[in-house]
Amino acid sequence: MIKVVKFGGSSLASAEQFKKVGKIIRKEESRRYVIPSAPGKRTPDDTKVTDMLYSCYGLAILDDEYEEEFENQLMAIKTRYDEIIKGLELSISLDDEFKTIRTNFSKKIGRDYAASRGEYLNGIIMAAYLGYEFIDAADVIKFDEEGNFDGVKTNEILSARLAETKQAVIPGFYGSMPDGKVKTFSRGGSDVTGSIVAKAVHADMYENWTDVSGFLIADPRVVNNPKAIDVITYRELRELSYMGATVLHEDAIFPVRKEGIPINIRNTNSPEDKGTLIVEDTCRKPRFVITGVTGKKDFASITVEKAMMNSEVGFCKKVLQVFEDNAISIEHMPSGIDTMTIFVHQDEFEEKEQKVIAGIHRAVEPDFLELESDLALIAVVGRGMRATRGTSGRIFSALAHANVNVKMIDQGSSEMNIIIGVRNHDFNAAINAIYDIFVNTMI
C-alpha cells in the first residue's frame, strides 16, 4: 500500500508539531511520500512564515534605507527554522540556504520564489528528520511558458523520479517554469502538490493532515459545534468548496479524482480521529439527508423582465453578453417565463452597474429592470437529498420559522444541491435553521 501524506502549516509550526507528524508517518510504512507546507502560526497572534517571506521580500526590493529592516526580518525567519532544528536535535544547518535566499532577494528574483522558500526549507528539515530523500519541487512540478500547470509533463517527470525513490519529501506549493524560474500555485497550493504526487505514484490513499478532524457539516463560526462529515463524494465537495468551504484547496480534487484515489482529511492533533473520507462515489448511506450547508455573502442581483421573453430567440445570450463585455462573472441565473435574474459578486458589479444597465437596455429593450444588493447565497448539498421527499419543503419551513425571507431558489437537475438566496443579515439565521432541521432534529 502507498500513501501520500500532506501536512499543513499548523501541523509544522514548531518542533513539537514536527514530532507529532513524525510519529504519524512512522506509524505506517505505507506513508512513503510526504508533502510539507511552510510553518504556520504557533499561536493565534503569530505570523505564518509565508507571510514573513512576502514581507521580507517587499523590504528587499525597496531602497537601501530599508536594508537593516530587511536583515532583521530575514534573521527572524531563520530563527523560526533554527528553533525547529534545535527542538528536533538535528545536526543540519540552513546557513548556506539563507545566504542564497539573501542573494536572490537582492536580485529581485520574484515574489513566487520568495514565498516558495517556506515549503522548501521545511522540506529540507522534514527529510533530515525522517531520513527520507529530499526532492526539490522545482525539479519535478512543471508549469508552461504562460504560467499554467503542465500536468502531462509533471506526471511524466514525477512518475519516473518517484519510481526510483522508496521514500521522499517533496515541498508543496511550487514548481518551475521552462526557464527554471520558480512558480507557485495559489495560496493553499500544497494541497495541489500532494494530489499531483498521489497521482504520479498511483497511491492507494492521499492523506491531508491539518488542524481539524475532517469536514464539518457547517462552518463552526456560524453553527455551534457542528457535526463532522464521515464520507463525502468529490461532487459534493466541489459544490461545498465553490460556495465557501475551505478545508481543502479546490484544485486538489482533480488529479486524484481522475485516478479514483480517495482523500482522507485528518487531524494532526487528534490522529486517532478517522476524519473525512472523500471518494468518487459510495454505497454508504449518509448519516443525514444533507452532507453540508455553506454559503457566501455580498452578492447583487439584476432582474430583467420582458413580456414573451421565452419566445425571443437569443434573449438570454444577449443579456449575458453584456456581462461578458464588462468582464463580470455570473454566479447564478434562475429564470421564469418572462423574467431572468442574474446574481453577481457585488464588488465586481458596483463600479460597472450603470454601463451594464445601459447595455441591457440596448441589447434586449426590457419592460422592467431591478437591482438588489447585500444578498447572500447558501448551498445545501447532499447525495441523500435525491432519495428523500420533501427536502425543499423542509428547508422553506425551517426558514419561515426563523423569519428568513427567501429571495431566490435554484435547484440543479442532479438534485444534489439547492442554492438559496437571502439577505446578508439573514445569512447566519438561515444556515442555523437549515442545520437544525436536518441535523439536530435527526439526532
Q: Please tell me the predicted confidence (pLDDT) of residue 38.
A: 97
Residue 387 has pLDDT above 80, yes or no: no
pLDDT digits (tens, 9 = 90+) for 194-241: 999 999 999 999 999 998 888 899 999 999 999 989 999 988 887 887
Range ranked top by mean pLDDT from 153-157, 333-337, 383-387: 153-157
Q: Please tell me the predicted confidence (pLDDT) of residue 258.
A: 85
pTM for the model stands at: 0.83
Q: Please tell me the predicted confidence (pLDDT) of residue 245.
A: 66
Q: Please tell me the predicted confidence (pLDDT) of residue 209.
A: 95
Q: Please tell me the predicted confidence (pLDDT) of residue 413.
A: 63
Closest CA to 376 of 439, 431, 320: 431
Residue spans of the domains in the chain: they are 3-211, 292-442
**What interhelical angle do 111-130 and 67-87 show, nearest 10?**
20
pLDDT digits (tens, 9 = 90+) for 9-28: 999 999 999 999 999 999 99
Domain 292-442 class, CATH top level: alpha beta
Alpha-carbon gap, residue 350 to 377, rounded angstroms: 18
Q: Which residue has the higher pLDDT, 51 or 286?
A: 51
The reply to whether 292-442 shares the fold of 3-211 is: no
What's the average model confidence in pLDDT over 151-177? 96
pLDDT digits (tens, 9 = 90+) for 118-152: 999 999 999 999 999 999 999 999 999 999 999 99
Q: Please tell me the predicted confidence (pLDDT) of residue 225.
A: 92
Q: Please tell me the predicted confidence (pLDDT) of residue 307.
A: 93
Counting residues of the chain whose pLDDT is more than 90, the rounded percentage is 78
Residue 232: all three cell numbers together: 463525502
Residue 341: half-sphere exposure toward Cβ, Cα within 13 Å? 18
- Write the secondary structure of 170-206 as one string of H (helix), E (strand) and C (coil): CCCCEEECCCCCEEECCCCCHHHHHHHHHHHCCCCEE
Q: Please tell me the predicted confidence (pLDDT) of residue 247.
A: 64
CB environment 22-33: b (16+ within 10 A), e (fewer) = eebbeeeeebbb
Closest CA to 8 of 55, 351, 356, 18: 18
Residue 443 has pLDDT above 60, yes or no: no
Contacts (Cβ under 8 Å, ≥6 apart) of 393: none
Q: Please tell me the predicted confidence (pLDDT) of residue 246.
A: 66
Architecture of domain 3-211: 3-Layer(aba) Sandwich (3.40)
H helix or E strand, kind and range, residue 111: helix 111-130
Q: Please tell me the predicted confidence (pLDDT) of residue 242.
A: 73
pLDDT digits (tens, 9 = 90+) for 96-126: 999 999 999 999 999 999 999 999 999 999 9
Q: Please tell me the predicted confidence (pLDDT) of residue 179.
A: 95
